[in-house]
Amino acid sequence: MTSGLSNERLKRIDAFLQNKYIDTGKLSGAVMLVAKHGEIAHLSALGNMDVERGKPTEKDSIYRIFSMSKPITSVALMTLYEEGLFQLNDPVSKYLPEWANARVWVSGESPDFQTTPAKRQMTIRDLLSHQSGLTYGFGEDHPVDLAYPPMLPSHQITDSLADWSKSVA
């Protein structure tokens, strides 16, 4: 217990993952790392990284993480929150001024949208709870979604991230 964390209790996490996820087939394998103050307290590899070949997961196995940008960004953001660098009810415009006068779609097709001013500014809390009113841009059932594709990373973007944010705002 050099990290101040109980090795016995950390091993319970392995048992939970093994029993609830790997043994039931919900996951084929997993690598788990727990660190405290930059020191590794626990590192384990469970299950298989290649089920068809029966190849076990290694501690340095690499996994593709599909659609994980939201949780990863949320963890990074909450780290900044813990450091007191922002508040959840801060308006997004405090950090990205182009979002100060956001408008809400009422009707119409791009580029001739009918909009109305938002009743209040979008907050960091809205972004984290997926209540910002922004869409993903890959649905084809709403005019706002159809307006996104030219601005999304799957299309060639030559602007800086700051310019891209301004164009989406």
| Other Cβ atoms closer than 10 A to 31 | 17
**Catalytic option among 61, 67, 110, 129:** 67
pLDDT of residue 152: 57
Identify which has the larger pLDDT, 30 or 1: 30
Q: How far apart (Å, rounded) are the C-alpha atoms in residues 17 and 33?
A: 13
Q: Where are the domains of the chain?
A: 7-63, 70-168
* 67 given a catalytic annotation: yes
Report the alpha-carbon distance of residue 99 to residue 108 in Å, rounded.
21
Mean pLDDT, the chain, as a whole number? 87
Q: What is the pLDDT of residues 126-157, one digit of tens each?
A: 999 989 888 766 666 788 877 776 665 555 55
pTM of the model: 0.62
Q: Could you tell me whether strands 103-107 and 55-56 are parallel, antiparallel, or unpaired per DSSP bridges?
A: unpaired
Percent of the chain with pLDDT over 70: 89
Regarding predicted confidence, which is higher, 161 or 43?
43
